[in-house]
Every structure is written in C-alpha cells, then in structure tokens.
Structure 1
Amino acid sequence: MKSTIGIIGGVMLFFMSGLAFANSYVKDKLHKPVPGGVAVVSLGEHSQAPKVSYLNKPVMVVSNGNTSEYLAIVGIPLKSKTGVAQLQVKTPTGAQKVAFQIQPKKYKEQHIKLKSNKYVTPSEEHLDRIKRELAAQTNAYANFRHATPSNIVLDRPVEGGRYSSPFGLRRFFNGQERNPHSGLDIAVPSGTPVKAPADGVVTIVDDYYFNGKTVFIDHGQGMVTMYCHLSAIDVKKGQTIKRGEQLGKVGTTGRSTGPHLHWNVSLNDSRVDPAIFLGAFQP
C-alpha cells in the first residue's frame, strides 16, 4: 500500500510540477515590466478570451497552455512613468480593471558621429519624404490582426554577431539628441541572411530615408516586427512568411555607420526591447 501511495504521490507531484512550469513559462521569459518592456498579466480563468486594452490600444491575449487561464502580453511605452498601471478588461459578464506595476529602468547614452549632416538636419524635401514614410510605419504598427502569433518567444533573426546598440539608448548624432533607440542592433557582416522569428504577413517592403531597405512583418494580435538597413529584400508586400524563412540580407543602407541589422519589436503599438524575446534582457 505504501509503495502504491508513493507512486501516486510521485505522479501527482510530477503533474503539479508540469502545471507550474506551464503557468510560469511565458511570464518567466517575457515579464520585464519596465518602460520599454513587457508585462505578462494574468486575467484569471474564463470560458473565452477577454478583450483587453491599454492606453486605448488593443492588447494581445493568449491562453496559458492548456488551462482556462488567459494572459495579457502588454507592451509598455518607453516614456511610461513607473508605478501602477491598469488594463481595461471586457468579458461576456462585464468590464473590470486589472492593475500591474511598472518598475524603473535607466537607459544609457550613445554618441554617434556621421560623415554627413543630411541624416541629422534633413532638407525640406527630405522632411516631406520622412513624414510620408513615418505615416506608413505608424499605420503598420497600429494594425491589430486577430490571428494569434505562432510563437511569442521569438527566434533570433540573424545568426552570430554581437548586440552593438541596445534598445532604449538616448542617441546623439553629431552632438544633437534624437529619439531614443527603438530597436536592437545586431552587428553581422553584410549579406548575412535575415529570417522571420515567427509566422506572419509582410506589410511593408520599402527603401526609407533613415531605415534604408526595410521589411515589416505582422505576426498577429498587435505583434509587429521591423528589419532595416538591409542590403537585399527577398519578400513582397502581402506575402505570408513562415518562421525561419529568409526575408532579406543584412546591409548598411539608410542612416547607418556599418553593416548591422536594426530589429524592432512592437506590442500594442509600443516599441519594446527585442532582447526580452530572446532571453537576453539586461535589467
């Protein structure tokens, strides 16, 4: 009898450990609730996915493994203040607010010397072009397809190389401060293949003033990734791309001082640190 009880206890312990792993996996990987980070917030158990918004933007909601618990995967804008923040949650039975805490994080500065001032103080003609390009990118980031991403812990889009400029840097070009760095730079040789880190739909293929040759992929539920300074593009707008398929090659087009991939990740129209999705976040 004792051995039988021991076996049952062991099975139950293994089963409970499995549930604990399922319950903690996404949060352990992605929950970095700082400005420019990601908050993984439990919404409790529901018969269907709640609808969630943050700062009037729809938020990704996923089921927690094979359970009836749902999680909100929330992008936190880089300019957010620390302290308590609230999600707006709607279910068939009503609406409620769910709070989460934004923790502090300090970002470093970066001073970059460019050979030409045309990327520091663009001409009026170039400013018109920049405004058009910004509008296209703004629309792409704001899009919310209801398809669930194939994976939210993402693959590294290029092999090898080092992280040359992290997310969130306060950047100074030729001594003039510009917007903080909204992505992660990975320094690899020109021509290095760039691959999709998850399934998605290509929404932008273009050659931009600052970004150079650029690709946007919409992965669903407000997760959008951008790849820029490419030397070549291997996809077309509207194309469905699978995880691991090549979308282009690394280059140094646009405002760039050398070959690298500039990679953006956006959630609910907030640019967040791509290192979080690779397990390389630095507190």
Structure 2
Amino acid sequence: MKSRAWLFSVLLLICSDVLAKLPEQSAVPGGVMILSVGNSQQTKPDVYFEDKPVMVVKADGLWHAVVGIPLSAKAGTLRIVVKRGEERSTQLFSIKDKQYPTQYITVKDERKVNPNSLDMKRINQESSRIHQALTAWTETNNEPVNFVWPIKGRVSGLFGRRRVFNGEPRNPHRGMDIAAKTGTPIHAPAAGIVRGTGNYFFNGNTVFIDHGQGLITMFCHLSRINVKDGETVKQGDIIGAVGATGRVTGPHLHLGVSLNDERVEPRLFFPPESELKK
C-alpha cells in the first residue's frame, strides 16, 4: 500500500509539471518566445532579455524562459542571458517580420489626438505611474498561464495595428479591444495583485494586475473600478466594469498584456476567441 501511495504521489507531481500551461509561441514582433533553459532538476536560472528579468517556469521537466518580444523589434537574431550561480551563458533565437494592418479611427475630441500643453503635463506625469505598474516584479516559483477572458463580447480592435487618428499616424495598438455594453462586469483573468489604478488621459479608468514574474494585465476605459492598489484578487473576481472613458469611440474594454515590460499579443495567453461569445 505504501509503495502504491508513493507511486501515486510521483505521478501527481509529474502530471502537474506536464500540465503547467504556457502561452502560445509566436516568433514575431509583439509575440512570445519560449526557450528551454535547463533541466527542472537543476536550480532555477535567472534569465534576462535586454537587461530586463524574464519569466522562468517549469513544464515538461524543463525550465522555460517565456520572453516578450518588443513590438518594435526587427526581424533577425535576438538573445537572452542565462545565469545560474556563477555560470553565465547566452542563448540566441530568431524572429520573423510581421506587417500589421493599419486602422483608421475618427475621434470627436481633438485634444485626444493633439493634446494641449496642460494635457501633455498630465500625460507625462501619468507615464511614470504607468511605467511603475508595468515594470512590477513579483517573484514566484512557477507561473502557469491559465487565463480566462475577462468579459464576453465582440473583438473590435486587434493588437499591433498601426493606427491613424483623424488622419494623423500614432503609436500602434498595444492591446486588443472587446466591445461590450457600459457596465458589463470585468473579471480578473487570473490571480494576482493590483499594482495600479487610476484615471488616465488616454486610457481612462484603468486597472493593472501583477500575475508574477513580470506578467501584467491591463484593463482600460472602465466606467468604474472595483479594486484598490495592493489588493489581492482571485481568478474571476470583478475588478471593474466596461465603459467609455479616455480616448474611445464607444464603450469597450482595452485588454493589454505586458511581459518583461513589453506589450505583447493578448490572444497568446487566452483560450480560443470562440469562447468570447459564449
């Protein structure tokens, strides 16, 4: 009986290791690379990309570096630095080019396209707060990515699109938009800690959730915020409601995902889009 119990415990550990969910890999700007960086029986390494710490998780008996690729990256060879104690090594990986389509948007409030000097002062002050939220790092031993969609709705804006507001080119879209009625409850996609809330010039009412190891989700344009900075949330908790605050053309949720302080394609972390409509 004892041997059978021991065998069951071993099988349980193996299965939990194999079933640790990782995001989908996409070797393009704004995508995610998953690189093996050692056997899981070894000490967990520290991994860096462009001098920023990188998520490292255990799955299938290996340590994996989960690297967010900058949306501005060019096709070619990039590298990570792997440190384990006094050992240091470099691992190369390649990415392909991706041409994101252009989206033309008309915004009634001209200041949301060409802010005045007072607006710019506010925007600059807000930028440091947003940066602080997106660079939060909470160390965890293993970070499975078992996200659920925060709302149900229609995808109205895709990640990476080059945007032209009122005929003027602006930064690419660094998240995805899901259209829904004002007041629709927004749920935390996974457990985490609220690392920032507030009302921002472009983003409107916003919540940032830190899921560990540099993985941050971002929820913008909310009509209300139901959580506070530093609060711990569980998967499915209501964090706010859909709205039309900030720079918008109608009520929707802007859903962003940041990994090692790079905004990446949210759909790589979530179930199939068909579940958005259920």
The TM-score, its normalising length taken from structure 1, stands at 0.87
2:122 to 118, 122, 129: 129
Q: Which residue is 1:258 aligned to?
A: 250
Q: Is 1:244 matched with 2:236? A: yes
| Number of residue pairs aligned between Structure 1 and Structure 2 | 259
Q: Which residue is 1:118 aligned to?
A: 111
3-state SS, counterpart of residue 118 of structure 1: helix
Which consecutive segments of 4 or more residues in structure 1 shift more than 6 A? none
143 and 25 in structure 1: CA distance in 2 versus 1, 3 angstrom threshold: closer
Compute the displacement of 1:120 (Å).
0.8
- Whether the 8 Å contact between 1:148 and 1:220 is mirrored in structure 2 is no
Bigger radius of gyration among the two: 1
- Whether the 8 Å contact between 2:27 and 2:33 is mirrored in structure 1 is yes
- Whether the 8 Å contact between 1:110 and 1:172 is mirrored in structure 2 is yes
1:72 to 47, 51, 65: 65
Query: Gapped runs of 5+ residues in structure 1?
Result: 1-14
195 and 151 in structure 1: CA distance in 2 versus 1, 3 angstrom threshold: farther
Q: Which residue is 1:48 aligned to?
A: 43
3-state SS, counterpart of residue 43 of structure 2: coil
- Whether the 8 Å contact between 1:150 and 1:198 is mirrored in structure 2 is no
Across the aligned residues of Structure 1 and Structure 2, the Cα RMSD in angstroms comes to 2.0
Q: Which residue is 2:205 aligned to?
A: 213
196 and 151 in structure 1: CA distance in 2 versus 1, 3 angstrom threshold: farther
- Whether the 8 Å contact between 1:148 and 1:221 is mirrored in structure 2 is no
2:81 to 71, 79, 88: 88
The TM-score, its normalising length taken from structure 2, stands at 0.88
Q: Which residue is 1:22 aligned to?
A: 18
- 1:71-220 matches, cutoff 5 A: 71-92=64-85, 94-148=87-141, 151-159=144-152, 161-220=153-212
- Whether the 8 Å contact between 2:148 and 2:271 is mirrored in structure 1 is no
260 and 131 in structure 1: CA distance in 2 versus 1, 3 angstrom threshold: same
How many percent of aligned residue pairs carry the same amino acid?
43
2:218 to 217, 221, 226: 226
Q: Distance in 1 between matches of 2:127 and 2:165?
A: 19
- Whether the 8 Å contact between 2:149 and 2:271 is mirrored in structure 1 is no
3-state SS, counterpart of residue 111 of structure 2: helix
Query: Gapped runs of 5+ residues in structure 2?
Result: 1-10, 274-278
Q: Cα deviation per residue 1:237-274 (whole Å; 9 max; x = unaligned)?
A: 11011111010000111101011000110000000010
Q: Distance in 2 between matches of 1:186 and 1:62?
A: 29
Q: Cα deviation per residue 1:70-127 (whole Å; 9 max; x = unaligned)?
A: 0001000000011221110001251001111212211010010111211011110110
Alignment-mate amino acid for residue 169 of structure 1: R
